[in-house]
Amino acid sequence: MIETRTRALQPEISAAEAKATTAELADMTARPVMIQAPRYYHPTPGDITAWLAREPTTTDQFVNRGGRLAAFGRLKEALADLDQAVARDPSLAAAYAIRGLVRLQMGEATLGKADLDKASSLGTPNASVQSGLGILAMLEGRFEEAVAAFSRAMNMSPNNTYALRMRAAAHRAMDRMDKALADLDEVLEMDPKTFEAHAMRAEFYFSIGEVQKALDAADAALVLAPKEPNLLNLRAGLLSRLDRREDALKAFDASLEVRPTAATYLTRARYRLKSDLAGRLADIAAAEKVEPDNLAVVSMKAQALLDSGKGNQALAMLDAVAKARPDEAPYLLLQRASVEAKLGRMAGAIKDFATLRSLAGQNANDLNQLCWTQATLGVALEAALADCEASLKFQPKRAATLDSKAFVLLRLGRLEQSIETYDEAVRMRPRQAHSLYGRGLAKLKLGRSAEAKADLDAARAYLKSVDEEFADYGLKPGP
């Protein structure tokens, strides 16, 4: 037999005390209580199902649910809610502003801008409108205007960490890394639990070759959001860059355990060794099973087929998808041009490059991508140089584009000009392995062996796979 005793920590209250607290208890019962989820909480599929099952009854509820759905990527459902809000109250600026942001994320730039203009016309300036205008400017490569718009949003809403993070992204796009990192520091001072700021620091450091600092920042983000798949993918990619491939695969596995997404499978495929063709194809097949209509799956599958000597099969697949989905065909043009060039079908490649040039217009990012792709393939080099020059016209001081231009000049044999251009890129990003390696190759061709060795060794220290990557372009150290 076990004897038990219970002892209360608080003596029972008297009848008089109970009566005295009746009014207070009734008041507490009448007040609704809400639990605020942490900033870094990501809703489960069950949470989102519950949101969708609870039909809003007021305009504000439609706006609030639309905003929450948009924040977690449910853009179509968000748009439907915001359409309802606008129909109920055509004068509600907030509904137009948020709908404008959603439409921009859905790639509907014209409709998004119209919503933002409408919101602006409906009264007092709105921070969401300014953020939307900033995003639109970034999409169009107008980064100075984006900085100004996000700054206005912050002035209207001083604790607006979203606008501050986006301003950091705009600074980063112009290679103003000191200002970008300063903005992220300010975000973390306002709210140390903003894991997105740590994640952005990781991406920024990675872009300038500071891989270990990037990994440290990713780890800091994961402390706050340990089951965020995008962070796990980022960490896995960084571990791959540091040649810690076993750790990288474990990180990818952890991400897939949380949520198996096409993006995770494709990222793992991208970071596998090129020789691991079976692993790459398995990942691509898994991604296709999750998202059969994802065009990134088609593009990566085409590259894998090309690498396995099945270029004709890759080209046939790209042509079939482009024919079946003509509105999305431009997304595949760059990959198709690459396959055509590898197969020696230069007329088709040149035609696709010309189409892409026309579509790029004044978009500096697209022009740089066009320049780089032609340069790495070693085709249409004069056209590639013109594309780089056009990109630099719209963004004069961008390290990535300067690196592309220097690479084109290297392939053209204009070595002194190549070195001068690489010098500019390296001044902006001193630890960028590709720029150092390209400059080393140019110096080696000019007989400046000691300087070349210093650049090549530095590049290898920052990126172990840099020799392999340049070998894929057909360039190796040599006389």
Assigned domain for 420 exists: yes
Dihedrals phi, psi of 23, to nearest 5 degrees = -65, -40
Residue type, 24: E
Q: State the residue range of the domain holding 395.
A: 361-479
Pure H helices in 54-194: 59-71, 75-88, 93-105, 109-120, 127-139, 143-156, 161-173, 177-190
Assigned domain for 171 exists: no
Nearest residue to 242 via CA among 416, 473, 433, 5? 433
> What tokens does 103 get?
């439409």
Predicted TM-score of the model (pTM): 0.70
Q: 410: domain CATH number?
A: 1.25.40.10
User: From the DSSP assignment, how many helices (H) and strands (E) are in the chain?
Assistant: 28, 0
Assigned domain for 401 exists: yes
Q: How many domains does the chain have?
A: 1
Assigned domain for 394 exists: yes
> What tokens does 409 get?
């000049």
* Residue 368: its H or E element: helix 364-377
Assigned domain for 403 exists: yes
How wide is the angle at C-alpha 140 spanned by C-alphas 326 and 366, nearest 5°?
Answer: 60
Ramachandran area for residue 74 (φ above 0: left; ψ -120 to 50: alpha; else beta): beta
Assigned domain for 397 exists: yes
Q: What is the pLDDT of residue 8?
A: 43
User: How confident is the model over 367-392, as pLDDT tens digits?
Assistant: 999 999 999 999 999 999 999 999 99
* Residue 404: its H or E element: helix 399-411
Assigned domain for 381 exists: yes
Assigned domain for 423 exists: yes
Q: What is the pLDDT of residue 152?
A: 92
- pLDDT digits (tens), the chain, 479 positions: 444 444 444 445 455 555 555 555 455 444 444 445 554 455 666 777 888 888 888 998 898 898 888 877 788 889 999 999 999 999 888 888 889 888 888 878 788 889 888 888 887 677 888 888 898 888 877 889 999 999 999 998 888 888 999 999 999 988 888 999 999 999 999 988 888 999 999 999 988 888 899 999 999 999 988 888 888 999 998 998 888 888 998 999 999 998 898 989 999 998 888 888 889 999 999 999 999 888 899 999 999 999 888 999 999 999 999 888 888 878 889 999 999 999 999 999 999 999 999 988 888 888 999 999 999 999 999 999 999 999 999 888 888 999 999 999 999 999 999 999 999 999 988 888 999 999 999 999 999 999 999 999 999 988 888 998 999 999 998 65
Residues recorded for the chain:
479
How far is residue 376 CA from its own chain's centroid? Answer: 23
